Structure 1
Amino acid sequence: MPSLMEPPPNPARDTALAERLEAFRTGDGVDLIRESVRTVLQELVDFEAAGVIGAERYERTGERVTDTQRYPP
């Protein structure tokens, strides 16, 4: 019986993880790291912009006094 801290065996997940780890070992993981960092930073920018504007992206509210037209996609 697996412990609560240990996920049940999943060969597909384990294989994908092994492939990613091998990519990092051989130096092929640079693009994965770059894309991961870009995605996280974009999410942070979107979150901050939503807080300043008072609405999520594409959301319309009556209190909204600004927009994201100058905000790059």
Structure 2
Amino acid sequence: MIYLAILELLLFWGGLILFLVSLGLYAFRTGDYRSLLVFWQPTIRFNPFENTLNRAGLLMMILGVALRFYLFYIS
């Protein structure tokens, strides 16, 4: 069970880092920092690599949270 707890932390924090890296790459490429601040408006235009990093980061965070729920409620 300790391995699942370590995996949960790695998934969540690794996903968060990937997500922030994708946003940073977009900001440095375009110089459009306003789009990062008004995230509820669909103004960000990722290139394919940034989009892949963004989606992978979100998926890793979701899996980390799901694993935390599993470890806390199920086991």
TM-score, normalised to structure 2, is: 0.43
TM-score, normalised to structure 1, is: 0.44
Structure number with bigger Rg: 1
Structure with greater helix share of residues = 2
Q: Which has the higher contact order (CA 8 A, sep 6+)?
A: 2
